[in-house]
Structure 1
C-alpha cells in the first residue's frame, strides 16, 4: 500500500484584494497542509495537479515561498510530483517557467509528455525530464500538459501513449488539470465523464484533477480536491481541501483534509422591506455583523473576510446611503481584514390611480403624493406636504421673493404645523 497527498490550485502569489496579508494566506495554507498531511503523515509522495502559482510571472518573494515549502518536504525525504496548470503553464514559444526552475533545483519532479512521430510520448523520468515516473513505493505517476479546449482530443493521444509504455505491475496515478462538467455552474469547456474513460481503459487507477476549485469525486477513480484557499468570496461556499490517499491492489481510500490554516470567510445577507429609515438600515447592518461575530465566536485577531449583501427595497432614495462610510464602519466593527459591501436595493415606488379626466392640479398633487409616500421620512405627512409643494410652485410662478419661499419651506417641514 502507498500513501500520498493530492493538492491542486495552490495559487501562490494571489493578489486579487491588494492585500499582502491575504497573499500570505495562500503560502501559509500550503505550508500547513504539507506539514500536517505530508510530513507528519509520512506519505510516500505528494502530487500537485496544476496551478501552483497564480501568475506566470512571479515576484521573488513568491518563489521564495514555494522553495521554503518544498525544501521542507525534500528534507523529509518525500518526493513532490507536479504538472502545469493554466495559470503557470509556459506561453507558446517559451522554453521554461518557474515550475521548471523548481524541478531543476531538485525540489520537484515536473512531468511533461513530449511529442514525437507517433504523437504524444511518455518518456521515463531521467532525473531532469520525463512524462512519467516509477516510484519506490510501487506507484507509477503520469503527467500531462495544459490542453485547454483541445483536452478531449488530447486524452485520446494520452491514452494511446500510455499503451506504448512498458507494462507496470503496481498502481497507476495520472495528473490532469481540467474540470468535469456538472460540478459548478457557468463553467465553459468542461469535460464529460465519457471523455475521460480512455484513461481508465488503459489502466489509470487514480485520476488526480485540478482546475475547478471545488472538491468532487466520481466513480471512485476521479478525484479533485479543490483549491487550498478560496480565490473569491463565492468559493467560500465550496468544500475544498487536500486528499490524503491510500492506494493498493485492494482499491483507493481518499480522505479530504480540511484541518489546516485557512482564513475565515463570513457571508451575510440582510433583506429590506421598504419600511426602514436610513438610520434603521444602518443599525440593522451593524446588528447583522454583531450577531455573526457572536454566533461564529470570531475574535479580533481572526481578521476574517466578511461580505454583507443588502438587498430588497428601501423607503428612501437609495443614493442617500453613504456606502463607503458604512462599509468602513462595518469593517471596523467586524475586525475584518477585507470587508465586501454589496448594496443592491431599489427605492419603494408608489403610484396612485388617476381618474381619466384629471386636471393638471390633480395630476401634480398625485405625483407629489406618490414621491413623498415612497420616502419613510415624509410618508406620514404626504398629503399635507404635497399641498405645500404645490403652493410653493405657485408662489414661485408669482415671483415672490426668495425669503418668502424659504420661510414657506421651513414652515412646511416643521412637523408641529
Structure 2
C-alpha cells in the first residue's frame, strides 16, 4: 500500500530579533508556521512526519522554546503519528557530553532522533531505533525503512559510498541534512550532484534539508529521487524570492514518490534599494529616500507588519554618516510600519579635486582595508588575509545584528567565514 508522509525542514524555532522591537511577534512566527504543518499532518492522517534538520535556530534554546515545541508536537503524538528527525548544523551542539534539546525531545517520545553510529574503519551502522532510549539510526514504519543522518559538513560527498554500503533493506528513505550543488543556495555543507547520485540506487526518497530554497534532484533518466522543501518561513533576507512550504508525499509500492508542494503563509519580507546617486546633501538624499520608498512600499500595509531591508546605493556629496539610521527609520515608518527594519548603507562620498570628481572609499571599504592591514601584519596569517578579514567582518555583522547565539558563531568559525543557512 502507498505510504503517505509530510517532509519539512529548517523550521528554525527560537529565532527572533533582539532589542529591535517586534521581537516577540517574530519569535512567534516560526511556531505558528510549524503548528500549521503539524495540524495538516494530523488532518491528512499521514503515516509519519520527516524533519530534515534545523528544527531549532540554535543548539542552546530557551526553556520556553522547548515547552512551546512540545505543545505543538503533542497532537502528533496523541494521533500516533511518528515524527522522525535528524540534527542540522543549527541544532548541533559542540559539547557532546551534554544532552541536546533534540535528544531530549527524542527521549520524551515527541520525535525519533535518527543518528547512526560509526565503525572503527569509518563506516556507518544504522542501528534499529530504541524507543526507550530514544536513540538509533534506522526505524521501520509500515514497511518503509527510514534512515537518518544529520549534518556532517563539507566532506559529506565522501561519505555517500559508506552510507550506501550500510543499506541492505528495500523500500528505503534517507533523511539527510545536506545540500546539493547547483540546486542549493547555501555555500557550505553541500555535495556534488554526481556524489549524490549513488543514493538514488539505495533510496526511493532522499529527504534533504539545509538550503532554504525548495528543489528536486533527478537521475539522468529523469526520475526524481532527492527533495528539499526549503524552510517554511523566511529565515533571512534574500529568501523572499523563494517559494515557502513543505511536501506532502505518497510513496507508491513500486518506489515512485508523488510529491505535492504545499505553500505556507510566512510574514511578508521585502528587500528594496534606494538609489541616492548624485544627492548633494543629506536633506536632498532624505527626500529622495522618502519618494522612492513611497513608490516601492505603497502596498506594504498588510495585516502582518512586514520585515524590510533597505539598501542605500549611490555616490553622494556628503559623508554617509550624516544620513542617520534614526532619520531613515522615521521617514520609512511614515510610509510603512515594518515589524523589523535593516538598513545597509553602501553609499560612497564624492568630492571635487583638480576639476575632476573623486570617489572616496565607502565605510565598508575602509573597514576592510584597515582590518586586512592589521591581520596581514602578523606573519602567521600570510596567505589567509582575505579569508580572515571576511570571517572577522561576518562575525562582527552577526554580533551587531543580535540574533545569533554562541553556537552559531562557532559554526561560522568551523565553516571558514561563510554564514550557514
TM-score band by shorter chain is 0.7 to 0.9
Correspondence for 1:320 among 307, 311, 322: 322
Aligned position for 1:213: 212
**Aligned residue in 1 for 2:10:** 9
Aligned counterpart, 1:132: 138
Give the SS at the match of 2:346: strand
TM-score w.r.t. length of structure 1: 0.76
Other-structure match for 2:42: 39
Deviations 1:329-354 (A, max 9, x none): 31354111111122322234444559
Any conservation in 1 of the 2:150–2:175 contact (CA below 8 Å)? no
CA separation of 1:353/1:269 partners in 2, compared to 1, >3 Å: closer, same or farther? closer
1:325-336 superposed matches below 5 A: 325-331=327-333, 333-336=335-338
The answer to whether the Cα contact below 8 Å between 1:311 and 1:344 also exists between their aligned partners in 2 is: yes
Q: Which runs of 5 or more structure 1 residues have no equivalent in the other structure?
A: 355-369, 372-417
Looking at structure 1, the residues matched to 18 and 278 of structure 2 have their Cα atoms a distance apart, in angstroms, of 33
* Inter-partner Cα distance in structure 1 for 2:95 and 2:164: 24
Q: 2:147 aligns with which of 136, 142, 155?
A: 142
Structure 1 residue 184: deviation in Å?
4.8
Aligned partners of 2:279 and 2:234: how far apart in 1? Answer: 36
The 8 Å contact of residues 204 and 255 in structure 2, kept in 1 or not, is answered as no
The answer to whether the aligner puts 1:88 opposite 2:91 as a matched pair is yes
CA contact (8 A) 2:85 2:114 kept: yes
Distance 1:313 1:93, change over 3 A: closer
C-alpha distance in structure 2 between counterparts of 1:82 and 1:189, whole Å: 18
Change in Cα spacing, 1:353 to 1:112, as seen in structure 2 (3 Å) is: closer
Change (3 A) 1:289 1:40: farther
Q: Which position in structure 2 is the counterpart of 1:105? A: 108
Shift of 1:106: 1.4
Q: Distance in 2 between matches of 1:16 and 1:140?
A: 39
TM-align CA RMSD? 2.5
Shift, 1:17, TM fit: 4.5
Say if 2:279 and 2:285, in contact at 8 Å, map to a contact too: no
How many aligned positions are there? 345
Q: Secondary structure at the match of 1:125?
A: coil
Match of 1:344 in 2: 346
1:233 paired residue among 226, 234, 237: 237
**Aligned ranges 1:129-208 → 2 under 5 Å:** 129-136=135-142, 138-163=143-168, 167-168=169-170, 171-184=171-184, 187-201=187-201, 203-208=202-207
Compared CA separation, residues 204 and 250, structure 1 to 2 (3 A): closer
Q: Compare 187-196 and 47-56 and name the one that shifted more.
A: 187-196
Is contact 2:232–2:244 with CA below 8 Å preserved after alignment?
yes
Cα 1:125–1:61, aligned 2, differ >3 Å: closer, same or farther? same
The alpha-carbon distance between structure 1 residues 189 and 175, as it changes in their structure 2 partners (threshold 3 A), is: closer
Return the offset for 1:27: 1.2
Q: CA deviation at 1:186?
A: 6.9
> What's the CA shift string for 1:272-299, capped at 9, x where partnerless?
3315653343233223333344335x23
Counterpart CA distance in 1 for 2:151 and 2:185 is 22
Give 1:162 shift. 0.8
Question: Matched residues in 1 for 2:323 and 2:128: separation?
Answer: 64
Aligned partner (choices 218, 222, 227) of residue 223 of structure 1 = 227
CA distance, structure 1, for counterparts of residue 101 and residue 279 of structure 2: 57
CA contact (8 A) 1:331 1:338 kept: no
Q: Give TM-score, length-normalised by structure 2.
A: 0.75
Provide Cα deviations, 1:199-254, integer angstroms capped at 9, x if missing partner: 222x2011111111111111011111111222221222233321111211262222
Assess if the C-alpha contact under 8 Å between 1:268 and 1:288 holds in 2. Answer: no
1:255 corresponds to which residue? Answer: 260
Aligned residue for 1:26, secondary structure, equals helix
Q: Contact 1:274–1:347 (CA<8 Å) still a contact in 2?
A: no
Flag structure 2 segments of 5+ consecutive residues without an equivalent: 219-223, 359-421
Distance 2:241 2:59 in 1: 27
CA distance in 2, matches of 1:282, 1:275: 9
Structure with max Cα Rg: 1
Cα distance in 1 between the residues matched to 2:211 and 2:344: 25
Conserved 8 A contact 1:331-1:339: no
* Partner SS, residue 56 of structure 1: coil
